Amino acid sequence: MKIAITGSTGLIGSRFADLFKDKHKLFHVNLSSGADITDRKALHGLLSRANPSLILHLAAKTNVDGCEKDKNSDITDLKDQGVYVNNEVDLGSLKTENWKDKTTAFAVNVVGTKNLADWARENNVKIIYVSTDFVFDGGKEDLYEEIDDPNPINWYGQTKLWGEKSINDSGLIVRPAYPFGYKSLAKKDFIWTIIELLETRDSIKLISDQIITPTFIEDIAMGIDFLIEKGTLGIVNLVGNDFLSPYEIGMLLAQEFSLNKAKIGKISMDEFYSGSAKRPFKVRLQNDKLRNLGFEMTDFYEALKKISSKSRT
Ligand SMILES: NC(=O)c1ccc[n+]([C@@H]2O[C@H](COP(=O)([O-])OP(=O)(O)OC[C@H]3O[C@@H](n4cnc5c(N)ncnc54)[C@H](OP(=O)(O)O)[C@@H]3O)[C@@H](O)[C@H]2O)c1
């Protein structure tokens, strides 16, 4: 299938591109090849010439604290443009040309996504949008299902949610969380950050009260391909099977990579992120929908074993 892929130089996108470069005909929509998703006119021209059968959209501004720094200027611009009322954006009235070449969270995550989604709708092409668990506030005691109401608590999550709202019913939204995998040249994921800290520092502190749903990048890439084959529409939580604190993850990493567990101390989420953008507290996403469709995710420790055995070869 001819797929226009955005974000293929990033952590998840680069792995999808590598795994599926022979199966699919990939058309890369990347900044490095001169394609900025905030530039609607150029983007639409490029897509029309490429004529893909599917858009896989992974590009985003993913730096959560960097996104938070954009919040005030984004809101000021939205108010000046008359499209920001009661903390909501009127996506239908948004003049996307006002955001061309901007690098803020709103420009990339909302306008960029809307530019892609509008082209997909106008040309009857399916779009798959890679969203995030950060659309939730992390306050739910039970597991989050696809039907739960989002309530983002930081600007990254808010802009990703508005991105979701740009996707119509004939698209697919997948929500991975805390991606980790084999060592990547594209970006260091959170497990490799912990491993490197354990190797280089005398002691480190990891959050013990926050719960996250780590997701093996191999599963994200294979899961997306599976959902393409199935033709699934709507929203799917594309997350791992285990719910763990960063502290528990650090202990498992130390065990699997033969690092010193005694170096790891505990810290609360509030203290760790003091002065940073808020993070969801307990974001346990349920993956039953994906399992019922026929796709099994890898258990966290199994994935770690695969990663450590590959890193030894
Ligand atoms: N990482 C996470 O913790 C996480 C968790 C859940 C969901 N997600 C979602 O998964 C997706 C992939 O995340 P990731 O961590 O793999 O991303 P990433 O490594 O941060 O890469 C971001 C990608 O977006 C591209 N990009 C940024 N601005 C662009 C623009 N204006 N026009 C075109 N391309 C642009 C970048 O291109 P350049 O390399 O050229 O700058 C890069 O390829 C994102 O949508 C993210 O929201 C991520």
CA 54 to chain centre: 19
Q: What is the mean pLDDT of the chain?
A: 97
Q: What percentage of the chain has pLDDT greater than the value 90?
A: 96
Q: What is the pLDDT of residues 111-130, one digit of tens each?
A: 999 999 999 999 999 999 99
Question: Domain of 76: which CATH number?
Answer: 3.40.50.720
Which phi and psi angles does 255 have, rounded to 5°? -65, -50
**Tokens (6 digits) for 117:** 């989604």
- 61 Cα: distance to centroid of ligand 1 (angstroms): 6
Is any atom of ligand 1 closer than 6 Å to the C-beta of 159? no
**What's this model's pTM, rounded to 2 decimal places?**
0.98
Quote the domain boundaries for residue 201: 2-311
pLDDT, average across residues 15-36: 96
Separation of CA 185 and ligand 1 centre (Å): 14
Give residue 169's pLDDT band: very low, low, confident or very high (50, 70, 90).
Answer: confident
Cα(7) to centroid(ligand 1), Å: 5
Into how many domains does the chain fold?
1
Q: Say what angle helices 40-50 and 112-122 make with each other, to 10 degrees.
A: 40
269 ligand 1 Cβ < 6 A: no
Place 257 in a pLDDT band, splitting at 50, 70 and 90. very high
C-alpha distances (whole Å) from 299 to each of 197, 219, 295, 304, 306 are: 24, 10, 13, 9, 11
Report the atom number in ligand 1 closest to the C-alpha of 57: 45
Atom 35 in ligand 1: residue holding the nearest Cα: 59
Residue 210: pLDDT over 90: yes
d(CA 117, CA 119): 5
Query: 164 CA to middle of ligand 1, Å?
Result: 15
Q: How far is CA 266 from CA 194, 271, 296, 312, in A?
A: 13, 11, 32, 29
Calpha distance 192→198 (Å, rounded): 10
Distance CA 157, CA 150 (A): 9
Give the pLDDT band of residue 33 (cuts 50, 70, 90). confident
The amino acid sitting at 94 is L
d(CA 173, CA 89): 20
Alpha helices, DSSP H only, in the chain?
11-20, 40-50, 64-80, 105, 112-122, 155-166, 190-200, 217-230, 246-256, 269-272, 288-293, 300-311
